[in-house]
Amino acid sequence: MMIEPYKKRMVNVFGKRVFSDNSRAIRVDKKTSLTYLLAFVVACATIAVSKPTEAASAPAQPPVNTLEEAREAGALHSAYKNQRSHSIVSGTPEPNLATFQAEIGPILEATCFKCHGEEKQKGDFRVDTLDPDFLHGEDVDWWLDVFDVLTLGEMPPEDEEEMAGEDRGKVIDWLSSEIQLASQIRRSEGEHSSFRRMTRYEYNYALQDLLGLDFDLAGDLPPETHSEDGFENSSEMLQMSVMQLEYYRELGRSALEKATVRGEQPQTLYYGIKMEDAVAQIDALSEKERKLGRSRGASNPYFKKWDTDEEIRARYRFNRAKYSYRPSVTLPEVPQRFEYALILPADSQHIFDLGDTLPDTGMLRVRALASRVSTDEKSLPAIRLEFGFEPSNSYESAQRVYRRDVTIQAPPGQPQFYEWNIPLSEFRRNPYRGQADLGAFPNPSEYLLFNSVIQNTGDDPVSDIHIDYLEVTTPFYEQWPPESHTRIFIDSENQGNEEIYAREVLASFLPR
């Protein structure tokens, strides 16, 4: 029986974790900018510390007025944190050495000692000298390796006598029982750490609160390992290595760059898209093709002309940029009346091509003037907006803007504006932007994809969606500099003095 030489590894069985990596020291330049310093502060915010509490009963608590007081009061009465006062097993737990001596030891001697005993030690490993006392012995890590190879059927090897199935089951059952007992005892006897790093979702929420940003800032972090209790936020699983701290620092800096701006406000571009403009883009088709009639199909989008009820099939082709809209530098006025409307039946979609002019970063605000066609409110329609691109016939990409679809509640004849905000830096972008001519191959344009989705699963028919007008603004700012910037770089008469202003910025930021 051959077992690979023991190697140091990360062990969770007893509620402890050892990190071993080639961590690099964080090198800090003497000219580290204030942004770098803030990024390090944000990274340090990943360390969550809760105030230690006593297991003894506490006197009556005054009314809780602050978040910190609420956390302390909750920790004081936490059954989970105080679980060490409860015995896991009745009486004094003892290792099951009798079963080992009577059954397990002889099985191992018959099948393992030949290759891992006194006379021969393949892989420099001996089974005959392992201490079977999991509670007080020091060979638990070696037993874990034995458990692994037996469970996976890797030992004994094919060229050796096979261990009987009944014997293998006895050894595995005994090892499992002893491992579980030892794990419970060590966890109950150990101190509950109050010092840990934040989980991925906690760090994301912390960054959002600190910086005033709504999008995912920690999506690149790996998922958390669950504890034996099934929790993601157990302190025993949330250690922090130097390399991890450096990685969190880089994430913090990236988040700060998204929250802050430099220089003058960039030029804002506007799209004011009337449906008659969309109709004008449609190829000059034959009269038979333009007038849809039965050829349109019940689930295909179309443009409807109000004064004649003419229906024109809605279509999109990226080649030759015939369907790309051009922006302006002034915000167009919303028309008082419309000649055409886009009708989206249930489970249909339509693309509005915004060309190759969108900025790299900033918010893309989309507003659609829409209503439902039917007066029946039993099954309301909804729009699922996607942002995407299609460089060629064989390559396209579209990402959902919001997790939740936007329900269209406006009744017929009373359209309302429905709004979406798209942080451009957080979405996949067309890799050919600025590298090819609009309408050529590969196509550099980007688009908005409006999907009419069915929300209900019943038998009630879903109303069509009626879109009169589309307004797009990019980059969109409520103010300049944006609030996320001014929350960090506060207004001060000392902005010209870097040393004093840096102290003021940190003094304002750190208490958060």
Same domain, 312 and 457: yes
On whether residue 119 sits in a domain, the answer given is: yes
Q: What are the E-state strand segments in 244-403?
A: 269-274, 302-305, 311-313, 340-344, 349-353, 363-372, 382-392, 395-400
Closest CA to 180 of 226, 145, 134: 134
Same domain, 243 and 152: no
CA 492/CA 508 separation, integer angstroms? 11
Instruction: Give CA 258 to chain center in angstroms.
Output: 17
On whether residue 483 sits in a domain, the answer given is: no
Same domain, 450 and 389: yes
CA 367/CA 353 separation, integer angstroms? 15
CATH of the domain at 305: 2.60.120
- Residues 138-172 pLDDT 10s: 888 888 888 888 888 887 787 777 788 888 889 99
On whether residue 456 sits in a domain, the answer given is: yes
CB-based contacts of 144, cutoff 8 Å, min separation 6: 11, 13, 179
217, 488 Cβ separation under 8 angstroms: no
- Residues 57-66 pLDDT 10s: 444 444 545 6
On whether residue 22 sits in a domain, the answer given is: no
Task: Give the angle subtended at the CA of 391 by the CAs of 268 and 352, to the nearest 5°.
Answer: 50
- The whole-number pLDDT of residue 78 equals 57
- The whole-number pLDDT of residue 66 equals 63
CA torsion angle for 199, 255, 424, 218 (degrees, to 10)?
-10
Q: Which of 170, 189, 208 is the last residue of a domain?
A: 189
CB-based contacts of 437, cutoff 8 Å, min separation 6: 444
- The whole-number pLDDT of residue 86 equals 38
Overall number of domains in the chain: 3
**Domain limits for position 203:** 34-88+193-259
Same domain, 291 and 434: yes
Please identify every stretch of the chain with a pLDDT value under 50, giving residue numbers as ranges.
1-32, 50-62, 64, 79-80, 83-89, 284-286, 292-296
Same domain, 171 and 217: no
Same domain, 332 and 453: yes
Q: Which of 189, 204, 220 is the last residue of a domain?
A: 189
Same domain, 316 and 460: yes
SS3 463: coil
On whether residue 491 sits in a domain, the answer given is: no
Q: What are the E-state strand segments in 258-315?
A: 269-274, 302-305, 311-313
Same domain, 329 and 384: yes
Same domain, 185 and 203: no
Q: Which of 189, 216, 239 is the last residue of a domain?
A: 189
135, 187 Cβ separation under 8 angstroms: no
Same domain, 122 and 178: yes
CA 155/CA 149 separation, integer angstroms? 6
- The whole-number pLDDT of residue 512 equals 78
- The whole-number pLDDT of residue 47 equals 61
**Confidence (pTM):** 0.62
103, 171 Cβ separation under 8 angstroms: no
Same domain, 185 and 197: no
DSSP state of 235: G
On whether residue 314 sits in a domain, the answer given is: yes
Same domain, 164 and 126: yes
Alpha helices in 127-272 (DSSP H): 140-151, 165-189, 200-211, 242-259
CA 182/CA 200 separation, integer angstroms? 30
Closest CA to 372 of 329, 399, 409: 409
On whether residue 487 sits in a domain, the answer given is: no
On whether residue 29 sits in a domain, the answer given is: no
Cis status of the peptide bond prior to 411, with omega within 30 of 0: no
